[in-house]
């Protein structure tokens, strides 16, 4: 998951004129820090702040605490309500994107894709929303849809290694191993430290019959992501090679 790109202006505007008691309870940055480091306490802090005038900033902090606790569905619903309440279109787009990210984390790409589409209706060139909708499409095995969004995203940011790696995977799944290899090589050139890029080049090489090239790339992915999901998958694939 990419880091959230979130416009705070509309939400934090509510904090400017908070009563003195609310100011004593917390600030947004303090609340978010607690939500991320000690999410159970973050829920209490956010609720206390909201009760004392924290408004939408406190509600968003509560959503972040819920996400840190793994309650992604509830976090998504909270952020969706914030999106529906604001008239700031940029903030609304970012909030819908964040709701989509939470739904992806909850394992619901169908709901996530709807949120990303709402975000793109407001901000058609949103990198984060295009990236999210591409990931949701891939999760639904709509690889053509994923490629379409990644084409747009890569027109905006031509050398994004993550997008190139995802398009490599989508192209491989649609029976285009040559295109997959081209994208994976471009991803490695853009970010030589990307384990995902090496994994995808290894997968493309394997499909193209280059077993030794695949073995080498998957070993590199293991070294770049030791113990991680990509590294483990690379090791499994390498061990299965004849």
Q: What is the pTM of this model?
A: 0.85
d(CA 98, CA 70): 15
Average of per-residue pLDDT across 67-94 = 95
Q: How far, in Å, CA of 165 to CA of 194, rounded? A: 9
Q: Which of 21-25, 41-45, 71-75, 118-122 has the lowest mean pLDDT?
A: 21-25
Which letter does DSSP use for residue 16 in this model? T
Q: For the chain, give the mean pLDDT.
A: 90
Q: What's the token pair of residue 34? A: 């607690």
d(CA 127, CA 28): 26
| Residue-level pLDDT at 12 | 43
What average pLDDT does this structure show over 59-66?
A: 95
- Given a cut of 70, whether residue 7 has pLDDT beyond it is no
User: Minimum mean pLDDT among 1-5, 191-195, 223-227: which range?
Assistant: 1-5
Judged by DSSP in three states, 7 sits in coil
Phi/psi at 9 (5° precision): -55, -45
Q: Tens digits of per-residue pLDDT, 150-188?
A: 999 999 999 999 999 999 999 999 999 999 999 999 999
Closest by CA position to 86, among listed 76, 77, 96, 71: 96
From residue 12, give the alpha-carbon distance in Å to each of 57, 76, 91, 130, 184: 6, 19, 11, 26, 41
Read off the pLDDT of each residue in 26-44 and give the average, rounded to a whole number: 89
Domains, in order of start, for the chain: 1-157 (1.25.40.10), 160-242 (1.25.40.10)
Rounded CA separation 183/5 (Å) = 25
pLDDT confidence bin for 20, thresholds 50/70/90: very low
pLDDT in tens, 120-134: 999 999 999 999 999
Say how far residue 78 (Cα) sits from the centre of its chain. 18
Find out whether 239 and 218 touch, Cβ atoms under 8 Å.
no
């Amino acid at each position: 998951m990419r880091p959230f790109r979130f416009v705070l202006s509309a939400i934090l505007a509510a904090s400017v004129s908070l009563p003195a008691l609310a100011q004593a309870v917390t600030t947004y940055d303090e609340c978010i820090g607690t939500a991320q480091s000690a999410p159970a306490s973050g829920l209490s802090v956010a609720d206390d702040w909201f009760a004392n005038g924290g408004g939408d900033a406190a509600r968003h902090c509560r959503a972040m605490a819920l996400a840190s606790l793994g309650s992604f569905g509830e976090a998504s619903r909270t952020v969706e309500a914030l999106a529906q309440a604001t008239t700031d279109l940029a903030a609304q787009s970012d909030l819908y994107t964040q709701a989509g990210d939470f739904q992806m984390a909850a394992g619901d790409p169908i709901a996530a894709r709807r949120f990303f589409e709402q975000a793109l209706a407001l901000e058609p060139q949103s990198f984060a929303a295009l990236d999210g909708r591409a990931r949701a499409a891939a999760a639904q095995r709509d690889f053509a849809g994923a490629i379409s969004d990644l084409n747009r995203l890569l027109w905006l940011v031509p050398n994004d290694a993550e997008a190139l790696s995802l398009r490599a995977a989508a192209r491989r799944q649609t029976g285009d191993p040559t295109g997959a290899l081209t994208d994976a090589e471009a991803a490695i050139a853009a970010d030589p430290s990307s384990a995902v890029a090496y994994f995808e080049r290894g997968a493309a090489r394997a499909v193209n019959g280059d077993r030794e090239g695949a073995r080498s790339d998957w070993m590199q992915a293991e070294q770049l992501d030791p113990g991680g999901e990509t590294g483990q998958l690379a090791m499994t694939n390498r061990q299965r090679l004849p």
